[in-house]
Amino acid sequence: MKRFCENAIQAKGIMDDAVRFVVDHQLKDRKTWKLYIEVFTSRVDSADERWRGEYFGKQMRGACYAYMYTQDEELYDILTWATEEILKTQDAYGRISTYAVDNEFCGWDMWCRKYVLTGLQHYYRICKDEGLKEKIVAACCKHLDYIADQIGTGKIEITSTSMWWGAVNSCTILEPTVELYKMTGCEKYLDFARYIISTGGSSDCNLIELALDGSLMPYQYPVTKAYEMMSFYEGLIAYYEVTKEQKYLDAARRFLDAVAQSDITIIGCAGCTHELFDNSAVMQTEYSEQIMQETCVTVTWIRIMARMYLLTGDAKYYDWIEQAGYNALYGSLNTEQCMQRELTSGVYLPAKTFDSYSPLYMNSRGRGIGGFLTFENGEYGGCCVAIGACGVSLMPLLAVVCDENSIYVNQQFSGTVTVKDQQGKDVLLDFENQAPLQDCCSITVQAECDLNIRIRKPGWCKEMLVNGSAVSDAPYYDAAGHYKAGEKIVFEWKRTLKTQQINGKIAFTYGELVLAADSAKTEKDIALPVHVSENPAYKVLKPEKGELVRIECQTDDGALLLTDYQSCGKNWTQENNVISVWLNM
């Protein structure tokens, strides 16, 4: 099983820039943390049965991954303070909840309690204080004990604890339940996990049996809420990790393969109808007045792919991470700090770090704030804002991973990685990639070591060269051997402009990047039909602000300017901000 090279990766470029942008503009803001914590004492969610209680755990999880990458001690101090403050909100029953006792187990109460466990468990992994770690375990146990005492066979059924989506949101507590079993070895938590699994994850259908049967695609299930469904299947993977019961890994694997086939779009997200599975692989070319391609779905897809990749080693999961990360995820970053539009009222509100929805055809960013709710002081929060840090922090952590005797290089970047070789010695690897998306990257071993360096060949890459020689189509090139100080491995990923066509529309990709037309970057009408050959001539231009690539493609109608999707439409409060991945043919 692979693992993060924790505390060991320092990258330059977009992976590093994204994490530090979120750390500086969001994760170090104590005022926001305080708002996220206060709702656990005011019980404000009881009044409208909403989900303010999710924000703390979502943000804590992402912030802990950010710390694992950055080793920023100021951030660690803030996370420690926030953890100590949330622990103070635990009531006499053991509950850490934004719902009152006389109005609990309804709405999004269980979902929010799930995120309390998730946030505390992720902080536990980075915590340096043994006393605080003991308090966290004790608090998590009291928190879950109360839930398990109230919910189960012959008690309140978990599938009746929410009116939303057959209570699949409530059933996602499966994953942190299993994690608490891993932390404590206490059998009653595994028993509670078995009970949740016995329900099938929803009152509307048995999600496990549907996935195993395979006759329906996920958008055809009785419940289609993408984010919550994926979170339940992540719980099945966690359960497999403990029990090795193959059925549950098979269910998750088949579900994810089906989602990839029917619902993952060209930018690596799902849901062209709000946040629902809807056969987005086909629907993605259509204009929609609705919100689409939610950032919460992007991050959850990356999370579950990361878990499957680390567990199975199957490189296709990393291909899907890369697709989502470099396109949908990085595109959602509000790097220009534009004000954000509240969906219902249309009012623009102060900037947050993430946009919630990503357009694919002739539309603009900044169309709504996902999971929008206000606090008692008038400020607001959103689900995508809270979850986004998790996605951007996982990207550098997954760029290079390791196991007992190998490192796996998944990305080209500049920076350093420190790993232990097979003799237990620290070895510094120096990565050099002269410019973003330059085909060539080198790895220099700075001290003598004995380890395998395995270099990924991306699914989009037709030709990879290692030290000048073409390598096979295997997902990893295995550069095994004993390395002397100063020895270098040079690998090249050959990127070319490719086209995809569906429903009378055409899209362009360049390596891992999806390209788009941006009305703010050209004087041409991007809605006009494009007449282009299957392999058009093109030239790569110098990227401008925020861009990773800028390409001039030759068409029968003249030059077509295309840039990486993640850089397009970022000034959404200005006029002329329409962008489109899919172009009319």
Per residue in 382-399, pLDDT (tens digit) is 999 999 999 999 999 999
**174-184 vs 130-150: helix axis angle to the nearest 10?**
130
Taking the C-alpha atoms of residue 464 and residue 388, their distance in angstroms, rounded to an integer, is 32
Domain boundary among 401, 419, 452: 401
The pLDDT confidence band at residue 7, using thresholds 50, 70 and 90, is: confident
CA distances from 181 to 113, 136, 176, 445, 495 (A): 16, 14, 9, 40, 45
* pLDDT for residue 213 is more than 80: yes
- Check residue 322 and give its pLDDT: 98
315 and 423 together in one domain: no
Burial of 130 (0-12, 13-18, 19+ CB in 10 A): exposed
Q: pLDDT: is 447 or 247 the higher one? A: 247
264 and 408 together in one domain: no
The DSSP H or E segment spanning 492 is strand 488-493
Q: Name 533's Cβ contacts closer than 8 Å, sequence gap at least 6.
A: none
447 and 320 together in one domain: no
Q: What are the tens digits of pLDDT across the range 545-564?
A: 999 999 999 999 899 999 99
Taking the C-alpha atoms of residue 230 and residue 302, their distance in angstroms, rounded to an integer, is 10
334 and 462 together in one domain: no
Q: What are the tens digits of pLDDT across the range 252-309?
A: 999 999 999 999 999 999 999 999 999 999 999 999 888 999 999 999 999 999 999 9
50 and 113 together in one domain: yes
Which CATH number belongs to the domain containing residue 480 in this structure? 2.60.420
Query: 229: closest CA among 248, 201, 210, 209?
Result: 201
Give me the chain's average pLDDT, please.
95
132 and 262 together in one domain: yes
Please give the structure tokens belonging to residue 134. Answer: 């003991």
Please give the structure tokens belonging to residue 270. Answer: 């799902």
- Check residue 398 and give its pLDDT: 97
* pLDDT for residue 435 is more than 70: no
CB 320, CB 458: distance < 8 Å: no
Please give the structure tokens belonging to residue 55. Answer: 């924000």
442 and 517 together in one domain: no
Taking the C-alpha atoms of residue 334 and residue 539, their distance in angstroms, rounded to an integer, is 29
Query: 248: closest CA among 301, 166, 174?
Result: 174
- Check residue 404 and give its pLDDT: 86
386 and 353 together in one domain: yes
Taking the C-alpha atoms of residue 147 and residue 211, their distance in angstroms, rounded to an integer, is 28
Q: Which domain holds residue 559?
A: 497-584
224 and 283 together in one domain: yes
Q: How many domains does the chain fold into?
A: 3
Domain boundary among 351, 385, 401: 401
- Check residue 424 and give its pLDDT: 83
- Check residue 472 and give its pLDDT: 82
**Average of pLDDT values for 74-94?**
98
430 and 504 together in one domain: no
* pLDDT for residue 223 is more than 90: yes
- Check residue 436 and give its pLDDT: 61
- Check residue 177 and give its pLDDT: 98
The pLDDT confidence band at residue 171, using thresholds 50, 70 and 90, is: very high
118 and 139 together in one domain: yes
451 and 339 together in one domain: no
